[in-house]
Structures are given as structure tokens and as C-alpha cells.
Amino acid sequence: MSVPSAFLLQASDIPTHWYNLNADMPEPMAPPLHPGTKQPVCLEDMLPIFPEVLVQQEMSQERWIEIPEPVRDIYAAWRPAPLYRAVRLEKALDTPAHIYYKYEGVSPAGSHKPNTAVAQAYYNKISGIKRLATETGAGQWGSSLAMACQMFGLECTVYMVKVSFTQKPYRKSMMGAWGANVFASPSENTAYGRKVLAESPDCPGSLGIAISEAIEDTVSTPGTEMAGEMPDVVLGCAGGGSNFAGISVPFMYKKLTEGMPVRIVAVEPSSCPSLTKGELRYDFGDTAGMTPLMMMYTLGHDFMPPSIHSGGLRYHGMAPMVSHLYKLGLIEAVSAPQTAIFEAAVTFARSEGIIPAPESSHAIRAAIDEALAAKAEGKQRNILFNLSGNGYLDLAAYDSYLAGSMKG
């Protein structure tokens, strides 16, 4: 008997509200602090960088927040994202586990990032903002925001971490196609970028530095139920924490409010291990120290991650909300080195067809390890992971892995 392997929802199933986990946190999160006064930030502190509606949403304790209709209209072009059962991968691993993945690579930019980029561009637009400046690592965020800005008629400037700017030139082409201006960061375009370059001309860049440049630029220029089973374990790769939160928070809601016995695991690179090796403390989100101080697991805001191919995971900190869940013992975290990640990526591509993004392949690695553990125990286990994006613009990394020249 053949097993159904695709679970597709209708456009009418797109949720009308976002869920805000803060409403159900067993213990409140520590507030962000002002970088100068070290006092909890207030709304006014954030207004030079973000429009008021977005800051209010960030501080909200409401359980459900309505998704504006213009945002839902754009989502409908690629959402609901499909859920697949990786039947061929299960066979290849000869495991009794059932492996499911939600595929976010169907968006025009190729990852989950337009889900928030479209909303952020919309709120900026209705707040009268004409131009956005942002940072990007591998270029997934920059291309998502470039596309979203284009849809709402906003200008977009992107500071792209230099190592990725060189490794992934076609991401830059995508941003250009969507009308954005792209600079390799550290750049000569900002005072902070010039300072970094003067001290270290060969600096490969980092997300922290690119965020500092984008802030300077900004302030100075005015359902699994369809599959008939529920997951025992939910996995997501974690760089900043957004796609991990996206796949896991609906299950966290069930865990907190209904006692659902689900394990939730974040997967990170062993070369940039903010949860597994970082410290829980207040730290800046950027390298220059311009953002509010946030209570999070961090490797230090001046940590320079090695130039791995998973540009989207080269970040020194972890989202405060994800950090808080980890502190409370509500989620687990694991890490894996780059070659183990690509081994999993190639196994997946050869059984499922889709060539995964290097970032997403961290979740695949953990899913395969869970499936192999289930096999060793001789027990069934339902595994769900988020395939946060495709790897069609990361092919140089595949070349390096297949040629045997990849390090780490």
C-alpha cells in the first residue's frame, strides 16, 4: 500500500492571526535594556529604528495578533507551505520512524524569510517610511526584504556579510533584480564599516557588523493533523531563531496549554554554537553595540564565526524568546560540524530530490540522527523538521563538499 507523502492545505487555511508565545510563557522574559542607560527600553527608545506598530507588536502580550489583509494576500502566492512525508529518505535509512518536513523553499526568495519580510515592509509602508536598510548573511534575508520592499514600493539598501557576498554572488543578483542596493559589509558606506576596515582590511564580515552598518544607515538617513499523526520530536535549524520558532511554537502552545509530550530541538553549527556553548546574559544584537541589550544565549557580540557556508547561521546570539525557552528547559539544542551537515544534505537530495539550503540541512542532520536512533531502539517515532529553504544558490558549497575540499 502506498503511503501519502504530500499534505497540502488550501489558501483559505492560511491563519488570520499570528500566535504570540509571550501570552503563555510560564515565566516572563527579561526585558531588553537600553544600550546607554542599561534601563529597560521603552517604546520611544526604539522609534529611531523601527515604526511604532512594529515596536508595539514586539512588546505585546496579546495571544493572537491579526495578520493584515494585504500581507495575507501576498502570502497566498506561495502559502500554505506544503508538508511532505520523506518516504524515500525513511527507506534509505531503513528506519521505523516517520519523517515529515514542512518546505519553506517554495517562496519566491527560496526560504521562510518572506513570511516576516512582507509583514515588516507592510508595517513600515503604512507608517510612512520610504526606505529600509538591513543586513544579510547568506543573502536570504536581504533578498526576501528586497522582494517585500518592491511589493510595497519601498527603497531597500542591504549590507551583505562580505564572505557570503563573495561565496554567493547570485544572491546579490536576486536583490538587484528586486531593485535593492547591495554593499559588501564591512563597507566604506558607513563610519562604522570604515573603522572596521581600517583595523582589519581582510575582515570577512559578520551579521553583527552588518547590523551595526544597517542601523547606522537607518538612523543617519532620515497543522500536522492532516497527516493523521502528531510529532514526537520537532526540529529546526537555529541561526537567529525565526524558522525554528515558526515550526515549533504551535507545538510549544500545545505543550504548555495541553501538556502535549513533544520534544523540541534546535540544531546549530558546532562552529557557531550560541545555545550549546554560549552564555546566558545581556548582550548586544550587533557588533558595534547600537541595539538594545537582550537577555540571550550569546558567544559575545564581537565573536567572529568561521566562514562556513551556512551564512544564515553565522550569528553570535539567539533570539531572546528561544533563549528563554532553552533556559526554562522547554527545548533542547544540539550542534553538528559542516561536513556532517553536507553528508545529510546530499543524502536528502538523493532520496527526496530537493537540494536543501545548508542552513536547513542542520535540521535534516538531526532528523536523520533521530530516525537512526529510532531504528537502533526498534521503535516508531514521528519526526517533523522545517526545511527552511532550498539550496539552489548555495551550489558552490555542494561543489566543495563533493570535491572533498570542505573543512570542518
Ligand X SMILES: *Cc1c(COP(=O)(O)O)cnc(C)c1O
Contact present, 318 and 277 (Cβ < 8 Å):
no
Contact present, 143 and 117 (Cβ < 8 Å):
no
Q: Quick one: which of 155, 144, 80, 86 has its CA closest to 118?
A: 144
User: Can you tell me the distance from the alpha carbon of 344 to that of 363, in angstroms, rounded to the nearest whole number?
Assistant: 9
Give 136 or 157: the residue with its C-beta nearer to ligand X. 136
| Nearest distance from C-beta of residue 111 to ligand X, angstroms | 4
DSSP for 119-137 reads: HHHHHHHHTT--EEEEEES
Residue 265 binds ligand X, judged by CB under 6 A: no
**Amino acid at residue number 100:** Y
Give 71 or 138: the residue with its C-beta nearer to ligand X. 138
Residue 135 binds ligand X, judged by CB under 6 A: no
**What SS3 string covers 14-70?**
CCCEEECHHHHCCCCCCCCECCCCCCECCHHHHCCCCCHHHHHHHHCCCCEEECCHH
Our CA dihedral for 61, 67, 71, 73, rounded to 10 degrees, sits at 170
Give 113 or 324: the residue with its C-beta nearer to ligand X. 113
Contact present, 169 and 311 (Cβ < 8 Å):
no
| Nearest distance from C-beta of residue 171 to ligand X, angstroms | 10
Q: Which three cell numbers stand for residue 246?
A: 515558526
Binding mask 82-121 for ligand X (x = CB under 6 A): -----------------------------x-x--------
Q: Specify the stretch interacting with ligand X by CB under 6 A; choose among 51-59, 179-187, 240-248, 366-374.
A: 240-248
Applying CB under 6 A, among 80, 239, 278, 320 the residue interacting with ligand X is 239
| Nearest distance from C-beta of residue 168 to ligand X, angstroms | 11
Peptide linkage before 68 cis (omega within 30 of 0): no
Helix, strand, coil fractions of the chain, as percent rounded to 5: 45, 20, 40
By CB under 6 A, the residues from 313 to 342 that bind ligand X are 313
Residue 240 binds ligand X, judged by CB under 6 A: yes
**Amino acid at residue number 385:** F
| Nearest distance from C-beta of residue 132 to ligand X, angstroms | 17
Applying CB under 6 A, among 243, 248, 287, 338 the residue interacting with ligand X is 243
Residue 241 binds ligand X, judged by CB under 6 A: yes
Residue 359 binds ligand X, judged by CB under 6 A: yes
DSSP for 179-213 reads: T-EEEEES-TTSHHHHHHHHH-TT----HHHHHHH
Give 238 or 249: the residue with its C-beta nearer to ligand X. 238
Peptide linkage before 80 cis (omega within 30 of 0): yes
Q: Specify the stretch interacting with ligand X by CB under 6 A; choose among 241-249, 250-258, 276-284, 397-405.
A: 241-249
Residue 285 binds ligand X, judged by CB under 6 A: no
Give 197 or 347: the residue with its C-beta nearer to ligand X. 347
Q: Quick one: which of 122, 149, 123, 119 has its CA closest to 134?
A: 149
- H helical segments located in 221-304: 242-258, 274-277
Residue 143 binds ligand X, judged by CB under 6 A: no
The number of beta carbons lying within 10 Å of the beta carbon of residue 50 is 19
Residue 305 binds ligand X, judged by CB under 6 A: no
Residue 278 binds ligand X, judged by CB under 6 A: no
Q: Specify the stretch interacting with ligand X by CB under 6 A; choose among 50-58, 353-361, 377-385, 399-407.
A: 353-361
Q: Specify the stretch interacting with ligand X by CB under 6 A; choose among 21-29, 176-184, 235-243, 370-378.
A: 235-243
Applying CB under 6 A, among 74, 99, 238, 252 the residue interacting with ligand X is 238
Residue 388 binds ligand X, judged by CB under 6 A: yes
Name the residues that contact ligand X, by CB under 6 A: 111, 113, 140-141, 237-244, 312-313, 357, 359-360, 388-389
